[in-house]
């Protein structure tokens, strides 16, 4: 059963720009693409994947353009989204939820809570988790999960066929 969400008002959040600088230092081989108030962190060092085939392993979102569940319009609030394996997800939160009619999941979590690891309000069915404005201690606990997500992205990239524009599978 998932742990009850909590918010600790005395926790000072890690500034988003400081977190990005730390992620750049930890993963110099990753590509950081900014689109509006969202930063997509991907692994494609040789730029051989077409944009459609590129997939982030981490995102940072600082606005409500994609969903309003986290109320990211609050000053200084951003959401760190992390791709987990299905097992990592189940170990932390239990079974994967289904999306509701509004596209959001109902897990019983307060998706506006700060500094709390929780299922992603939209992408939890695909094993994504998130934290709003993590504090230093929470970020320390997240680094192994972030490292695992990066390692999976590296493995996926190694398995991906080069983007040639030619359909795979060879002649029929």
Structural domain contains residue 11: no
Give the residue-averaged pLDDT of 29-41. Answer: 96
Cα separation, 14 vs 142, whole angstroms: 13
Per-residue confidence (pLDDT) for residue 11, from 0 to 100 = 80
| Domain enclosing residue 96, as ranges | 16-159
Express each pLDDT in 117-161 by its tens digit.
999 999 999 999 999 999 999 999 999 999 999 999 999 998 876
Structural domain contains residue 164: no
Give the residue-averaged pLDDT of 51-72. Answer: 95
Structural domain contains residue 59: yes
Provide the number of structural domains found in the chain: 1
Least Cα distance to 149 among 130, 168, 132, 125 occurs for 130
Structural domain contains residue 6: no
pLDDT grade for 52, boundaries at 50, 70 and 90: confident
pLDDT grade for 53, boundaries at 50, 70 and 90: confident
Structural domain contains residue 3: no
CA 70 → CA 16, 161, 164, distances in Å?
16, 37, 39
Q: In the structure encoding, which two tokens stand for residue 118, read together?
A: 């929780």
Q: What is the CATH classification number for the domain harbouring 143?
A: 3.90.1150
């Amino acid at each position: 059963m998932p742990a009850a969400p909590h918010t600790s008002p005395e926790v000072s959040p890690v500034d988003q720009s400081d977190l990005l600088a730390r992620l750049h230092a930890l993963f110099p081989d990753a590509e950081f693409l900014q689109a509006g108030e969202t930063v997509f962190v991907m692994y494609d060092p040789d730029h051989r994947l077409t944009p459609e085939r590129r997939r982030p392993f981490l995102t940072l979102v600082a606005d409500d353009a994609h969903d309003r569940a986290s109320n990211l319009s609050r000053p200084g609030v951003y959401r760190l989204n992390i791709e987990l394996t299905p097992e990592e997800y189940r170990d932390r939160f239990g079974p994967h939820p289904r999306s509701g009619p509004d596209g959001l999941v109902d897990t019983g979590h307060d998706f506006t809570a700060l500094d709390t690891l929780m299922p992603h309000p939209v992408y939890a069915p695909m094993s994504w988790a998130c934290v709003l404005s993590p504090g230093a201690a929470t970020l320390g606990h997240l680094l192994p999960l972030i490292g695992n997500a990066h390692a999976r992205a590296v493995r996926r990239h190694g398995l991906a066929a080069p983007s040639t524009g030619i359909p795979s599978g060879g002649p029929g």
